[in-house]
Amino acid sequence: MIIARVALLRRMPRRIDVLDYSVPEGLSVSRGDLVLVPFRSLLTRAVVISVGETEPGGKLRPLTSLLAPKAMSETDLRVFETTAKQLVQSTSTVLREVFTNQAPRPSASETPRPSIRQTEVPFVKQAIETVRSTAECFIEVLDFVQAVALVEAIRKTIPGPHRVFVPHHHDAALIDGAMTRLAGLELNTPSVVDIVVRSGIPEHASYDRNPRYDAREILALQHKETKRKLVFIDVAPRVVDLAAFETILQAPTELIEPPQIIDLVDQKKAGFTSLLTEPILAATTEALQSGKSVLLSLNRKGVSTGLRCKDCGFSPLCKSCGGSPTVYEDHMECHRCGVSAPIATSCAKCGSVKLTQRGVGNQQVKKRLQELFPGVEVVVVEKPDKKSPAPSRSRKQQVIIATRYYLDAVLNPLDPPSFGLVADVLGDIGLSDPAYTAGENVLHHLLELRGVAYRAKCPFLVQTWDKQLMDKMLLDPHGYLEEERALRKLVSLPPYGILYKLTTRGETTIEEIKQRLHNALAGLTVREHTERKHHVLEILIPNGRSGNLPSVLKQLPDDVIIERV
């Protein structure tokens, strides 16, 4: 009897990759064919993974029909099978995403085309020659405008077809035909050159639902299986890019004025207790007097970051998830879980009414700027909730206090406001993030802000509590990233190891997971902690030491969320 092993195009438990069906007489199927099969009480589509013979007498349900021969090429099938293995997902779950989420190619909105300076032309020509002469490369640019100009130059000078990937729909609206991460799962794409713009932005990965995948990793797999060129473009490489790309073309930083780095320790000694220090206020005054707008980056919402009891030092926590609620003018809100509550008036631990606000939020900075610059519009731009209106894109003179959301979803780099100052009010704020990528994420954000200042031909200021570190990051970014790379190699963090993050979302406990994985975890680094009331187990595997762990992980219940981070 001829049997076909197929992957159903539906979400399946991670332990079930294929199901067996008998092939009726007269029907010929082969690997990569799209077929129709019975499953439970329904008919569902499936992809043939393999065909073979078995002894007669087995009771298997027969295939219903052949829908499309060779619906998947051998290359695509290998890529997505490998992807499923890396993600510890069933092949069925990944292929379902491939067949149901074919990404459209949007047309860019009517915005001015990128216009770079004459001094940038030699670098763009050098970048084109680098792309032409290498199979894969990382091109470092000064800003998004230079990146778009480079994309257009690649399209004009290097034969296609080309695919361009961006992290956000906002970016796709600025580059004609650009696609977001879903396009990484496209089938049978006749691409010759794959270009990833803003390659360091985390949103190239999808971790909000299964299958949890990173489009950049899928493109790298496709590159290994095909002769496509692979080009990453951004203001700086990630540490994993330093290891992945032999060719990295650095940006022409000689075109940029060095940033002014302000030591908050010195400012505090001089009597400035607010984040609005003398250099920031002087630069803001100068920009406004010249008729320009001001962009102040501060990735902190609310009036303050929390409360603290003066008597016992206790800080109120969110009763829902245990996070630290942000203080607004009339309420407190936890940005982990979205729960709001009245502002506490007494300490829940000792009963004292001596509660003080700690940390400075963007609303507090806005209030102070309105006092200092009456008559100037001061706006806060942050990700709106369901009740908030979309942020204004007004072009009149104003002071913009922006969270990360402004760069990702509001600013049009091809047609920006006329800035007279770009500043990060607290440049090292993201270094408190427990993620091992915190440092490179902070650097990336600062370099994007530097690019906005460069294009506006205005000063770029950064305030920090650690000037020595900030000097290293901004005055020698590659030296900083190489130090990060050496540290990761020392402790086997990616790219020198694999980090799995297991989160319990159902009845399965961390203890049960550890018992199931007991033998496979021998010699590996394991860390246990809590995120938003969910128990998390992180497993760090040095390269070449995975043993049988991936196959054991595949047998875990599906209420355990597995991410490769």
Residue 390 pLDDT more than 60? no
pLDDT of residue 50: 95
Instruction: Dump pLDDT digits (tens) for 444-456.
Output: 999 999 999 999 9
Residues 18, 22: Cα–Cα separation, whole Å: 13
Please name the residues in contact with 298: beta carbons below 8 A apart, sequence gap of 6 or more: 275, 360, 361, 362, 365, 401, 402, 403, 424, 425, 426, 429
Q: How far apart are the first and last CA of the chain?
A: 44
The residue among 353 and 143 whose pLDDT is bigger is 143
d(CA 344, CA 348): 8
Contact between residue 22 and residue 1 where contact means Cβ atoms under 8 Å apart: yes
pLDDT band at 176 (very low <50, low <70, confident <90, very high): confident
Distance CA 154, CA 97 (A): 30
| Per-residue pLDDT, 407 | 94
Task: State the pairing for strand pair 2-8/19-22.
Answer: antiparallel
- Helix, strand, or coil here: 60? coil
**Tokens at residue 189, please?**
């794409």
Pull the structure tokens for residue 171: 């970016």
User: What is the rounded CA–CA span in Å between residue 338 and residue 387?
Assistant: 13
Q: What is the pLDDT of residues 13-55, one digit of tens each?
A: 999 999 999 999 999 999 999 999 999 999 999 999 999 987 6
* Rg, C-alpha atoms of the chain: 27
CB 504 within 8 A of CB 557: no
Confidence of residue 394 (pLDDT cuts 50, 70, 90): low
Q: Which residues contact 133 (CB under 8 A, 6 or more apart)?
A: none
Instruction: State the DSSP string of 276-289.
Output: S-HHHHHHHHHHHH
If pLDDT is split at 50, 70 and 90, which confidence band does 159 have?
Answer: very high
| Predicted pLDDT at 335 | 58
List CB contacts of 454: < 8 A, sequence separation 6 or more.
142, 143, 255, 256, 257, 460
Using the predicted structure, report yes or no on whether residue 210 has a pLDDT greater than 90. Answer: no
State how far the Cα of 295 lies from the Cα of 398, in Å rounded to an integer: 9
Cα 555 from Cα 459, distance rounded (Å): 56
Pairing state of beta strands 525-531 and 534-542?
A: antiparallel
d(CA 293, CA 275): 19
- pLDDT for 258 equals 93
* 3-state SS class at 1: coil
* Burial grade of 339 (CB within 10 A; 0-12, 13-18, 19 or more): middle
Q: Nearest 10 degrees: CA dihedral of 206, 212, 217, 219?
A: -70
pLDDT over threshold 90, residue 230: yes
**Segment (H or E) for 93:** helix 91-100
Categorize the per-residue pLDDT at 343 as very low, low, confident or very high, splitting at 50, 70 and 90: confident
Is a pLDDT exceeding 90 seen at residue 136? yes
**Residue type, position 36, single letter:** L
The reported pLDDT for the residue numbered 225 is 87
d(CA 493, CA 489): 6
Q: Give mean pLDDT, residues 141-158.
A: 96
Average pLDDT, rounded, for the chain: 89
For residue 171, what pLDDT band results from cuts at 50, 70 and 90? very high
Q: Which residues contact 387 (CB under 8 A, 6 or more apart)?
A: none
Q: What is the pLDDT of residue 36?
A: 97
* Side chain identity, residue 306: G
385 pLDDT above the threshold of 80: no
User: For residue 313, what pLDDT is reported?
Assistant: 73
| Paired residues of 414 in beta bridges | none
Among 130-144, 198-212, 230-244, 404-418, the range scoring the smallest mean pLDDT is: 198-212
Q: Which two tokens stand for residue 272?
A: 């400035």
Tell me, what's the pLDDT at 461?
A: 98
The predicted structure's pLDDT at residue 329: 65
Confidence of residue 196 (pLDDT cuts 50, 70, 90): very high
Please name which of 237, 179, 186, 153 lies closest in space to residue 83, comparing C-alpha atoms.
186
Task: Give the pLDDT confidence score for residue 547 in this predicted structure.
Answer: 84
Return the pLDDT at 70. 94
DSSP lists the bridge partners of residue 20 as 5
* Residue 388: pLDDT over 60: no
CA 290 to chain centre: 37
| Band of pLDDT at residue 103, cut at 50, 70 and 90 | low
**Which residues on adjacent β-strands are paired with residue 529?**
536
Please classify residue 396 by burial: count the beta carbons closer than 10 Å to its beta carbon, then call 0-12 exposed, 13-18 middle and 19+ buried.
Answer: exposed
Measured CA to CA, the distance from residue 8 to residue 43 in angstroms comes to: 10
| Model pLDDT, residue 496 | 96
For 509-548, the pLDDT digits (tens) are 999 999 999 888 988 999 998 877 788 999 999 998 888 8
> Which residue's entry shows tokens 């030591």?
263
Q: Hey, what are 408's tokens?
A: 């990702």
Average pLDDT value for residue range 99-106: 68
Q: What percent of the chain has pLDDT over 90?
A: 64
299 — pLDDT class (breaks 50, 70, 90): confident
- Tell me the average pLDDT across 101-110: 62
Over 80: is that where the pLDDT of 208 sits? no
Q: Is the pLDDT of residue 377 over 60?
A: yes
Distance separating alpha carbons of residues 39 and 471, to the nearest angstrom: 61
Split at pLDDT 50, 70, 90, the class of 391 is low
Q: How far apart are CA 343 and CA 307, in angstroms?
A: 9
Helix (H, G, I), strand (E, B) or coil at 536: strand
Range from 98-107, 278-287, 460-469 carrying the lowest mean pLDDT: 98-107
Angle at 446 between CA 396 and CA 212, to 5 degrees: 105
pLDDT score of 229: 94
pLDDT band at 227 (very low <50, low <70, confident <90, very high): confident
Q: How confident is the model at residue 151 (pLDDT cuts 50, 70, 90)?
A: very high
> For residue 104, is the peptide bond before it cis, meaning its omega torsion is within 30 degrees of 0?
no
Residue 320 pLDDT: 67
Instruction: Please tell me which residue, 346 or 79, carries the higher pLDDT value.
Output: 79
Answer whether 329's CB lies under 8 Å from 303's CB. yes
pLDDT of residue 209: 78
Cβ-defined contacts of 339-346 (< 8 Å, 24+): 343/307, 344/307, 344/316
DSSP string, 214-236: EHHHHHHHHHHHS--EEEEEESS
Q: Indicate whether 307 pLDDT > 80.
A: no
What is the pLDDT, as a whole number, of residue 105? 60
> What is the residue whose two structure tokens read 């294009």?
455
